[in-house]
Amino acid sequence: MRILVVEDEPDLLSGIVRALRAAGYYVDTAGDGEEGLFKAASVDYDAVLLDVMLPRKDGWTVLKDLRRSKKTPVLMLTARDASADRVRGLDTGADDYLVKPFDLPELLARIRALIRRGAGQPGPAIDLGPVRIDQAARRVTRDDASVVLTAREYVILEYLALHRGQLVTRSDLYEHVFDENDDTLSNLIDVHVSNLRKKLGHDLITTRRGLGYCIE
Amino acid sequence: MKVFRSIRWRLQFWHALLLALVLAGFGLSAYEIERAGLARSTDAELDRRADTLARAVHPPPPPAGRDDLPGDDFAGPPGPPEFHNPGESGPPPRRDRPRPGLPSLVLGDYAAEGPGQWYYVIWLRNGPPVTRSPNGPADVPRPPRPDSRLRGPALRVRGSFREAFLPLGPGDIVLVGHDVTADLQGLHRAAWAMAAAAGMILALGLLGGHWLAGRSLQPIADISAAAARIAAGRLDQRIGNRDTESELGQLAQVLDATFARLEAAFARQARFTADAAHELRTPLAVILTHAQHALAVPGAPEEHAEALAACQRAAQRMRALTEALLRLARLDSGAQPPDPVRFDLAGRVADCVGLIGPLAARRGIAVKADLNAAECAGDPGQIDQVITNLLTNAIEHNVENGEIRVSTRAACGRATLTVADSGPGIAAAHLPHVFERFYRADASRSRSSGGVGLGLAIARAIVEAHGGSIQAASEPGRGAVFTVSLPSLS
């Protein structure tokens, strides 16, 4: 899952990024509104964390401009807690609203919910027959036995499961399971998928040759 | 009763009282005039009748030279023949001719019976002592002999009878009376009718007064209602009186203007509080995020050190902010600076430039000082704060390797300090606001670059507390110039 954080306070940005990376997300950052809008409009993020008070272009404008092209889930982050501000944020197209200072667990839970809703998934658990994914705990079980996955493997599985029945291309996966700092070789995805098949069964993920992967 | 102490009820009360007095005065006058008129016409009629009767009883001598008229030789005061009482002693009138009785024309005037009748009584020295009309009261006392100097009949009032009597000669008296009961009854009826009309007028007047008082007091009710709404916290409420001519309309306008200023002041205060909260929340979020992450995820010591460093920066930022807020609050409370001290502004500036030097040097900024002695009075510590804030501001808003020119001079009884930077300057649209709290002229400037947004606000508060003024001027692209002017003598 790839997330963009737009925040101009460097210490807050570093704290959020560190927490998100520890939670298994791939995180891009932007320090002002213009950069944030550019990145959010050019990459399909799974979620965007957007501060309201930003230099160059404030959060409202970024959100409005972004909504012209993308329906990426957006969580507004602001120090203003007047209900008029919340209403304005939600009416402008924000999917959620969090007031600073916030608790990290709440932020992470809201991001999980945001991504889940964005993928049309009603609950935190995804049932794939014998394989179950608990998104809240980031735990995967096969026939009720816990399976140990690397972070990257988990994210690829989660992404495919959230887009169950859809074809997920390699470039989709690259966009969502690597961030701008990753320097990887293209065949790494195939290695991760092959490892997933070994751990969870060969029938779970089907390959559409030349197109991508799919969980039926 | 509270309600009767309201202006409306007092107005109503006085209005009613005045109206009642006017109506009573008018009614009483009308009654009196009517009564007097009635009495006058009754008296005139009595006079006329007494005269007529007197002539009938005792015709006056005809004018000289009119011999053809009967009775021209008639002299003395004889009565009519039927008045001659055979048993009466006294000399019979000489050369009297029997006369017919009182003329029927005269008698007809006394035929009416009942209330309001006219009657006569005649006392004669030579005739029967009393002759009376049959409709009169039986007990009419003989009037005293009137003052002979009086011309015309004398009047007396006896109960409900009004009588005029006329002496005809020694012992002869003609009296005409009138029973005024009916007249008085008519008068009373008229009075009652008038009282009823007055009552109706009073009622109408009270209704009108009530309406008028309500109408003229309506603006007060509007003002009171608007004030109550405002007091309840709805500061956007206005009286909205469109009548600008009347006194109350003008009052409403003045109050509306006051309410608008009040609302603006409250809005400013609310914005300031919200801004302060906002400025405190971001460092709080930094601390919470780093601390919670460090506690939740076991990390390398260097990662924890980074988290602690971030927390420390946030805490220091909060400290700077709370100190600035406290300083502003003290300045706002209007606390007077301790005993003003005379000092040289140039010396303070030199000290501050020395202190701020390393900060400027870090960005390669050169500080050029042109300091001339300029004496002023006040709190040197606070003036140091002003100088430091202006210098810090000039460093923050400067370009790398730029320069700052500081100068002091004394002129026209004022000590002047100018701080000019070579930064990007301030756009004209922002210039009037740079001294506002938390106002950031440079929207693109990240919060990470330093100040808490109160430095210039504090500088202005201090300078104004010292009776001075502070101004900002700028040509975009060519830096900004801040000028502080302090009175030389306190």
Cβ-based burial of B14 (10 A; exposed 0-12, middle 13-18, buried ≥19): exposed
Q: How does pLDDT run across A84-130, given as a tens digit for each residue?
A: 777 877 888 888 888 888 999 999 999 988 888 877 777 778 888 88
Q: What DSSP string describes B393-424? A: HHHHTS-TT-EEEEEEEEETTEEEEEEEE-SS
CA dist A208 → A15, A36, A205, A213, B423 (Å) = 40, 34, 10, 6, 60
**Distance of alpha carbon B181 from alpha carbon A141, whole angstroms:** 126
Question: Is the pLDDT higher at A190 or at A12?
Answer: A12
Cβ-based burial of A142 (10 A; exposed 0-12, middle 13-18, buried ≥19): middle
> Which residue among A8, A22, A100 places its CB closest to the CB of B285?
A100
pLDDT cut 90: percent of chain B above it = 16
**Distance of alpha carbon A25 from alpha carbon A155, whole angstroms:** 8
Q: Do B292 and A82 touch (CB under 8 A)?
A: no
CA dist B32 → A93, B23, B207, B436 (Å) = 90, 14, 29, 81
Instruction: Give residue A75's pLDDT band: very low, low, confident or very high (50, 70, 90).
Output: very high
Name the token pair of B326. Answer: 């406290």
Q: Within 13 A of A155's CA, how many CA atoms are on the CB side?
A: 24
What SS3 class is residue A50? strand
Q: Do B446 and A79 touch (CB under 8 A)?
A: no
The strand ranges marked E within B44-140 are 118-123, 130-132
Q: Do B286 and A15 touch (CB under 8 A)?
A: yes
Instruction: Give residue B352's pLDDT band: very low, low, confident or very high (50, 70, 90).
Output: very high
Report yes or no: B262 at the A interface, CB cutoff 8 Å: no
pLDDT at residue B66 in the model: 44
Amino acid at B266: F
Q: Do B289 and A16 touch (CB under 8 A)?
A: yes
Instruction: Give residue A74's pLDDT band: very low, low, confident or very high (50, 70, 90).
Output: very high
Give contacts of B449 with chain A, Cβ < 8 Å.
none
CA angle B60, B62, B68 (to 5 degrees): 140
pLDDT at residue B90 in the model: 43
Q: How does pLDDT run across A161-211, given as a tens digit for each residue?
A: 888 888 888 888 888 877 777 766 656 788 888 888 888 888 888 888 878
Question: Of chain B residues 311-350, which have a CB less than 8 A from chain A?
Answer: 313-314
Q: How does pLDDT run across B307-332, given as a tens digit for each residue?
A: 899 999 899 888 988 888 888 888 88
Q: Do B292 and A18 touch (CB under 8 A)?
A: no
Most A CBs within 10 Å, among B271, B279, B284, B292, to test the A interface:
B292
**Distance of alpha carbon A104 from alpha carbon A107, whole angstroms:** 5
Q: Under a CB-based contact definition with an 8 Å cutoff, are residues B377 and B340 in contact?
A: yes
Global pTM value: 0.58
Is pLDDT at B69 greater than 60 in this prediction? no
Is pLDDT at B484 greater than 90 in this prediction? yes
Q: How far is A11 from chain B (nearest CA, A)?
A: 6
pLDDT at residue B386 in the model: 92
A and B: number of Cβ contacts within 8 A: 83
Name the token pair of B430. Answer: 């922002």
Amino acid at A84: A
Query: B53 — phi, psi (to 5°)?
Result: -65, -40
**Distance of alpha carbon A74 from alpha carbon A115, whole angstroms:** 10
Q: Do A79 and B307 touch (CB under 8 A)?
A: no
Distance from the first to the final alpha carbon of chain A: 20
Query: What ipTM describes this predicted complex?
Result: 0.73
Instruction: Give residue A17's pLDDT band: very low, low, confident or very high (50, 70, 90).
Output: very high
Q: Do B282 and A9 touch (CB under 8 A)?
A: yes
What strands lie across the sheet with B172-179, from one edge to the other?
A: B130-132, B118-123, B172-179, B161-169, B154-158
Report yes or no: A43 at the B interface, CB cutoff 8 Å: no
Query: B470 — phi, psi (to 5°)?
Result: -135, 135
pLDDT at residue B17 in the model: 92
**Nearest to residue B333, comparing CAs of B451, B224, B185, B461?**
B461
